[in-house]
Amino acid sequence: MKTPATFHEFTDAVSAALPRLSPQQRVIAQHVLEHPDDFALGTAATVAEAAGVQPSALVRFANAMHFSGFSELQQLFRHRLLEQAGTYRQRISAMKSNGARREGQAAALHGFVEQGIAELQRLESSLADASLRQAARLLCDAERVHVLAQRRAFPVAAYLAYALGQLDLRVQLHDGVGGMLGESVRQIQRGEVLLVTSFKNYSPEVVDAAESVHARGVPVIAITDHTLSPLKPAASALLLTGSGTPAQVRSLVAPMCLAQALVVCTGQALVEPRHARGRRR
């Protein structure tokens, strides 16, 4: 395995190496992928403290990923940061320095606006155009689209079921009412596609459903947060929102924006001649 040269190569390398990493190295991998900016700007001591490990463990993790040490791995993260001039951090800092702090309810609103800006910036840097196009093609070619999410991700699934139905696709929303989720998932057949959404902490029912239909040869489209998501192994198309910062009320701004982009991309693909002539119904 060669040393990753870009951040995206690094995330792919981590996913591939995950089975051979030690439990401690998996903790480090998850931490650095969830907090790439902090890793780029921190010292070995501060990063290790945040991850709950010793600085020497960071060196061993870097070696396991074929870097000479912590500093070389950190340079990759710093290069990523330099490529994102004018990012959400700088914008938010500018807002604060211009006296954008508010009190009471206005402060709460301002906090959610800041959080939403940050999530949209992460979405833009995390999502690959090729993945979005691949997901749209799978939706266009499917005889039926099955949509599944649980808990806080359910509003995203509800929107997708509605919006994809407006494109005249055959869509079924699986809500698990009456404890019948397992039975309804077993009805998904070859020629159809399962569109799932889940974020940390991931819904076990959604992960199990994705693995189940994948094992039966049914394509899975997964909307999730980062490359270490348990949905990735089953996904034919992986759409990443980027990991959010810890918050008492986690935002759905980025997932809903991604869902809208997927619907529009699918609508555009449907009017292409190859789909207008040959789409299976």
pLDDT at residue 122 tops 70: yes
36 vs 242 pLDDT, higher one: 36
178 vs 239 pLDDT, higher one: 239
Average pLDDT value for the chain:
84
Distance CA 247, CA 262 (A): 26
b or e along 79-109 (b: 16 or more beta carbons within 10 Å of the residue's beta carbon)? Answer: ebbeeeeebbeeebeeeeeeeeeeeeeeeee
245-266 pLDDT tens trace: 555 567 788 899 999 999 999 9
Check residue 215 and give its pLDDT: 94
Average pLDDT over residues 228-248: 79
13-68 pLDDT tens trace: 888 888 889 999 999 998 888 888 888 888 899 899 989 999 999 999 999 999 99
Check residue 7 and give its pLDDT: 83
Check residue 276 and give its pLDDT: 47
Banded pLDDT at 188 (limits 50, 70, 90): very high
Domain ranges within the chain, ordered by starting residue: 7-82, 88-126, 129-278
pLDDT at residue 244 tops 80: no
- The tokens describing 105, both together, are 């309810």
pLDDT at residue 109 tops 80: no
Fold of 7-82: Arc Repressor Mutant, subunit A (1.10.10)
Fold of 129-278: Rossmann fold (3.40.50)
